[in-house]
């Protein structure tokens, strides 16, 4: 396994922390939103002001018609100079005013208009040719801007060219000023958002930091560590729950491993101590060849037992790491069960145990025959071993919901409830005395579980103290699959 394959996804190390990146994202987002709002507002305001100026200019043009009259072939201002309102209006109209003859010769030009420069004879001709009014923008000598309406003006059969202007510098400056104010205010607001974002991100991420802190302190010694859920049900809460769940599994596995190490060393030490004792006693006390032979024979039996334990351990390790290949063939499970029951009859008879098989259906399944035999063998030998003389053991096989259900039931001593979750662990034994009694090495049920799982099935135990124990194995039915595969036991 290469180091990188241990990660679900190759970790790309970000240069900035999550909090900083979140804050920057807020600021960027707000920056973009505020800039577009500012620009849109500026644009809208400019359009509104332009339209307003155009409307004002419309009004001025109409007012012009009321005061500029034809007298013979000339155009004259007709108003009452004594009338303050009329005088004021005419005064306003003449402030930026140009009147020329069709050739562009100036008839009247106000100082205001002079500052933007009279219209060229070209412009005059063009406007008069089209006969339409046009609105243009003109800039004065000092940079001030005017909106100018120009058009033909008929009087006494002659057509004049008239232009009036409206100063719009001030109006135009408003949107730009607003944008300038906005450009100063926006960074201040962004700064405030950055500060707020920094605190908000910190608050949002603080549960994450708790997980990080907790994960950092995890070691073999404090696997009982859990983080209190927030109770919000959000993603962070789920993370905490997932973390706690992972710790729970880790703790259970670690405890199991610890128990296994203790049990395994105990299992291996017991026969070793016995061998040593027997040989030492023989060395000191044996007098004849016969005495030595006896001592060596007993020692050899223990060596054999040691060998069996080591062999089984090795096989289980291979099974659990996926190194054992299942040779699956369509098999009648009823036949396998019948053969095993027949094999155990003599042993059962010796303990006056009534051993029965109930298998009304053939139960065709794709299984590794040797492994299935081993599974039935382990369950049956346990049932007979732990059931008292005169007891009863029943092997039942039936089909149910697409599964073959194999039950090995006895009316033996039963297993106390608190032992049941551990019964399939390696070397786990219910009663201490069993360590030396019988010939089991305490790995039988671990094998049963692996075999059931390797076939895509399950194994369960039901037991009541004083009433008996039933092991139930479920294997998917179906004989069409015939293949060889490697299967590791999942936990």
Piece of the chain touching ligand ADP by CB under 6 A; list 31-39, 249-257, 263-271, 433-441: 433-441
Determine if 236 is a binding residue for ligand ADP (CB under 6 A): no
Determine if 140 is a binding residue for ligand ADP (CB under 6 A): no
Q: How far is CA 381 from CA 119, 321, 354, 373, in A?
A: 119, 26, 14, 12
Q: Which is nearer to ligand ADP, 278 or 469 (CB)?
A: 469
Q: Which is nearer to ligand ADP, 144 or 377 (CB)?
A: 377
Identify the H or E element spanning 71: strand 68-71
d(CA 152, CA 292): 142
Identified binder of ligand ADP from the candidate list 64, 383, 395, 459, rule CB under 6 A? 383
Piece of the chain touching ligand ADP by CB under 6 A; list 140-148, 255-263, 296-304, 437-445: 437-445
Find the shortest distance in angstroms from Cβ 391 to ligand ADP. 10
Determine if 248 is a binding residue for ligand ADP (CB under 6 A): no
Q: Which is nearer to ligand ADP, 413 or 457 (CB)?
A: 413
Look up residue 432 and give its DSSP letter.
Answer: G
Enumerate residues 409-428 that contact ligand ADP by CB under 6 A: 410, 412-413, 415, 423, 428
Q: Which is nearer to ligand ADP, 215 or 257 (CB)?
A: 257
Q: Which is nearer to ligand ADP, 271 or 442 (CB)?
A: 442
Backbone angles phi, psi at 160, to 5 degrees: -100, 165
Q: How far is CA 234 from CA 19, 22, 184, 241, 354, in A?
A: 18, 18, 39, 11, 59
Determine if 441 is a binding residue for ligand ADP (CB under 6 A): yes
d(CA 119, CA 106): 9
d(CA 69, CA 153): 10
Determine if 444 is a binding residue for ligand ADP (CB under 6 A): yes
Find the shortest distance in angstroms from Cβ 381 to ligand ADP. 7
Determine if 400 is a binding residue for ligand ADP (CB under 6 A): no
Enumerate residues 187-216 that contact ligand ADP by CB under 6 A: none
Using Cβ positions, the residue closest to ligand ADP within the complex turns out to be 440
CB–CB of 277/298 below 8 Å?
Answer: no
Determine if 374 is a binding residue for ligand ADP (CB under 6 A): no
- CB-count exposure of residue 378 (10 Å: 0-12, 13-18, 19+): buried
Find the shortest distance in angstroms from Cβ 369 to ligand ADP. 21
Identified binder of ligand ADP from the candidate list 429, 453, 455, 474, rule CB under 6 A? 429
Size of the site for ligand ADP (CB under 6 A): 22
Enumerate residues 453-482 that contact ligand ADP by CB under 6 A: 469
Identified binder of ligand ADP from the candidate list 127, 445, 454, 477, rule CB under 6 A? 445
d(CA 400, CA 406): 10
- Using the structure block, give the residue that is written with the tokens 């003389």: 389
Determine if 434 is a binding residue for ligand ADP (CB under 6 A): yes
DSSP string, 280-349: HHHHHH--SHHHHHHHHHHHHHHHHHHHHHHHHHHHHHHHHTT-SEEEEEEEEHHHHHHHHHHHHHHHHH
- Using the structure block, give the residue that is written with the tokens 């089209």: 130
Find the shortest distance in angstroms from Cβ 350 to ligand ADP. 17
Identified binder of ligand ADP from the candidate list 430, 460, 481, 488, rule CB under 6 A? 430
Candidates 57, 63, 67; CA nearest to 135 is 57
Q: Which is nearer to ligand ADP, 271 or 412 (CB)?
A: 412
**Encoded tokens for 79:** 């108003």
Determine if 171 is a binding residue for ligand ADP (CB under 6 A): no
Q: Which is nearer to ligand ADP, 403 or 407 (CB)?
A: 407
**Encoded tokens for 96:** 């930026």
Q: How many helices (H) and strands (E) does the chain have?
A: 10, 15
Q: Which is nearer to ligand ADP, 6 or 491 (CB)?
A: 491
Q: Which is nearer to ligand ADP, 100 or 470 (CB)?
A: 470
Determine if 386 is a binding residue for ligand ADP (CB under 6 A): yes
Residues with Cβ < 8 Å from 20, sequence gap 6 or more?
none
Q: Which is nearer to ligand ADP, 334 or 415 (CB)?
A: 415
Residues with Cβ < 8 Å from 369, sequence gap 6 or more?
327, 329, 331, 336
Q: Which is nearer to ligand ADP, 444 or 457 (CB)?
A: 444
Q: Which residues pair with 474 in a beta bridge?
A: 405, 458
Find the shortest distance in angstroms from Cβ 394 to ligand ADP. 12
Residues of this chain that bind ligand ADP (CB under 6 A): 378, 382-383, 386, 410, 412-413, 415, 423, 428-431, 434, 440-446, 469
């Amino acid at each position: 396994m290469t180091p990188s394959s241990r990660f679900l996804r190759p970790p790309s190390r970000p240069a900035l922390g999550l909090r900083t990146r979140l804050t920057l994202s807020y600021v960027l987002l707000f920056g973009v939103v505020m800039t577009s709002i500012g620009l849109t507002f500026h644009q809208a305001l400019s359009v509104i002001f332009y339209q307003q100026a155009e409307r004002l200019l419309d009004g001025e043009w109409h007012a012009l018609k009321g005061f500029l009259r034809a007298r013979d072939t000339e155009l004259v201002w007709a108003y009452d100079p004594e009338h303050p309102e009329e005088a004021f209006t005419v005064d306003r109209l003449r402030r930026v005013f140009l009147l020329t003859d069709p050739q562009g010769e100036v008839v009247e030009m106000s100082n205001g208009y002079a500052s933007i420069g009279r219209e060229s004879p070209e412009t005059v001709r063009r406007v008069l040719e089209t006969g339409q009014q046009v609105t243009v923008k003109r800039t004065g000598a000092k940079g001030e801007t005017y909106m100018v309406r120009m058009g033909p003006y008929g009087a006494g059969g002659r057509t004049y060219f008239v232009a009036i202007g409206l100063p719009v510098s001030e109006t135009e400056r408003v949107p730009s000023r607003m944008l300038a104010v906005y450009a100063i205010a926006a960074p201040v607001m962004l700064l405030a958002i950055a500060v707020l974002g920094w605190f908000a991100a910190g608050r949002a991420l603080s549960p994450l930091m708790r997980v990080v802190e907790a994960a950092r302190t995890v070691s073999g010694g404090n696997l009982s560590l859990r983080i209190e859920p927030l109770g919000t049900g959000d993603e962070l809460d789920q993370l905490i729950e997932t973390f706690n769940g992972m710790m729970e599994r880790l703790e259970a596995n670690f405890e199991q491993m610890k128990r296994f190490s203790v049990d395994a060393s105990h299992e291996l030490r017991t026969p070793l101590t016995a061998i040593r004792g027997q040989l030492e006693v023989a060395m000191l006390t044996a007098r004849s060849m016969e005495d030595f032979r006896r001592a060596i024979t007993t020692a050899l039996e223990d060596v054999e037992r040691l060998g069996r334990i080591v062999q089984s351990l090795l096989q289980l390790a291979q099974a659990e790491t996926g190194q054992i290949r299942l040779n699956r063939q369509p098999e009648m499970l009823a036949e396998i069960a019948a053969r095993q029951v027949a094999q155990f009859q003599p042993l059962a008879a010796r303990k006056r145990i009534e051993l029965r098989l109930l298998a009304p259906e053939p139960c065709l399944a794709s299984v590794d025959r040797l492994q299935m035999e081993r599974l039935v063998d382990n369950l049956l030998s346990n049932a007979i071993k732990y059931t008292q003389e005169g007891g009863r053991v029943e092997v039942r096989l039936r089909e149910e919901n697409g599964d073959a259900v194999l039950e090995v039931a006895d009316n033996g001593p039963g297993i106390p409830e608190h032992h049941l979750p551990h019964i399939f662990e390696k070397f786990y034994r219910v009663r201490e005395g069993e360590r030396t009694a019988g010939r089991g090495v305490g790995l039988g049920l671990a094998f049963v579980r692996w075999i059931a799982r390797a076939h895509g099935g399950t194994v369960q135990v039901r037991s009541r103290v004083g009433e008996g124990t039933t092991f139930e194995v479920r294997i998917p039915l179906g004989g069409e699959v015939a293949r060889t595969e490697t299967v590791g036991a999942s936990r």
